[in-house]
Amino acid sequence: MLPLDFKGGAHMKYMGIDLHKQYLVATVMDEGGKILSKARVPVERRAIGEYFRRVNGDGKLKAVMEACYNWGYLYDEIRDKVLEVKVAHPLRTRAIAEARIKTDSIDSEVLAHLLRADLIPEAYAPEFETRDKKNLLRYRLSLVRTRVVFKNRVHAVLARNHIEGYEFKRLSDKFGKRGRAYMRGLELRGNDTEILNNYLDLIEEIEGKIKEVDREISEVFREDEVCKLLKSIPGIGEFLAVLIRYEIDNIGRFASVGKLCSYAGLVPSVYSTGGRTYHGRITKQGNKWLRWGLTEAVQTAIAKDLWLKRYYDRVKQRGGANKAKMAVARKLLEIIYRVWKERRPYYEKSVAVAL
């Protein structure tokens, strides 16, 4: 840790934090913008605690850091050690810094200046309980994706051995009970029998983990009234209801459904030239997990809901299947907004007419 040359008085102090994996750089300045101290601190609980006790002896310190990799750990560590801590939105912070300070390098000093001038565009900082549930959901998604990788490896082993069994080839689910029993009984060339069985072992191990996580997610669903409301919407089952619930977290932070759609990255990009304004593809700059969940729900939604199916078909005729899928995903988000705000389940006619 670098030595501190601290000269603060009873006035408010402002700290900008540039967080790295192994350390953080903190710049503290007074209300006039004068730098009072600058320190490099290891990202360890003891070092962080000691540093903030020294720098915030009078309790007049506000801090800000960007919503970067692993920000939650530091946020939880320092929030009770300062008067206020803000999490800055990286893209918007950079835009403001370029306009006001004429720099695109967002370091601790720039963050401190923006905080002092009340120019920090805040990113939403959910509580640990919400982040913990989001981590559980993302863990399940990672398990499913890993299972897909191993299933593809199994298909590669079968392909290089040219498996011709008619009963196996006609199975719609090669990894069902019958398909796995068939594969377990195969005698392949060289090391491929051992490789195939090891892959099948790994797939079964992953599926066991998925079932464990599903039980935890079901418990979250049962205890959350918002999740139950969201499940009334076509295309949204237990898992997607919990995912959507905790990726949004607090519906009250969105003043309109347009703001929510922008958060999900489901609004078209806009550009102007020659006095004309054009709308392009969706921005994809919002919450990728929320956007993924909504697009996953589309196929089931249009199969279950006649109004959504007609809407999908109309958009598909004009702009193609992908555009129609995104349009229905946005429509589902509009329905989610109303259902959550009004605290009532989805009914096709009533909600469709309102929208």
Residues 308/302, Cβ–Cβ less than 8 Å: yes
CA dist 97 and 100 (Å) reads 5
Residues 229/343, Cβ–Cβ less than 8 Å: yes
**Range with the lowest mean pLDDT among 89-103, 108-122, 245-259, 341-355?**
341-355
CA dist 128 and 75 (Å) reads 10
Quote the pLDDT of residue 1: 46
Tokens read off for 307: 């109004």
Mean pLDDT along residues 258-268: 90
pLDDT above 50: residue 5: no
Residues 9/59, Cβ–Cβ less than 8 Å: no
pTM of the model: 0.83
**Range with the lowest mean pLDDT among 85-89, 98-102, 181-185, 328-332?**
98-102
Quote the pLDDT of residue 269: 54
pLDDT above 90: residue 58: no
Q: What's the pLDDT band for 211 if we cut at 50, 70, 90?
A: very high
pLDDT above 90: residue 271: no
pLDDT above 70: residue 190: yes
Question: Which residue, 163, 170, 214, is CA-closest to 184?
Answer: 163
Mean pLDDT along residues 200-208: 98
Quote the pLDDT of residue 349: 53
Instruction: State the CATH class of domain 13-116.
Output: alpha beta
Mean pLDDT score across all residues of the chain: 90
Domain boundaries, the chain: 13-116, 129-214, 227-354
CA dist 191 and 131 (Å) reads 44
Q: Hey, is 171 helix, strand or coil?
A: coil
Residues 329/297, Cβ–Cβ less than 8 Å: yes
Residues 313/328, Cβ–Cβ less than 8 Å: no
Q: Hey, is 190 helix, strand or coil?
A: coil
pLDDT in tens, 227-250: 999 999 999 999 999 999 999 999
Distances (CA, A) of 329 to 93, 103, 123, 263: 29, 38, 24, 13
Residues 125/87, Cβ–Cβ less than 8 Å: yes
Tokens read off for 274: 């020659």
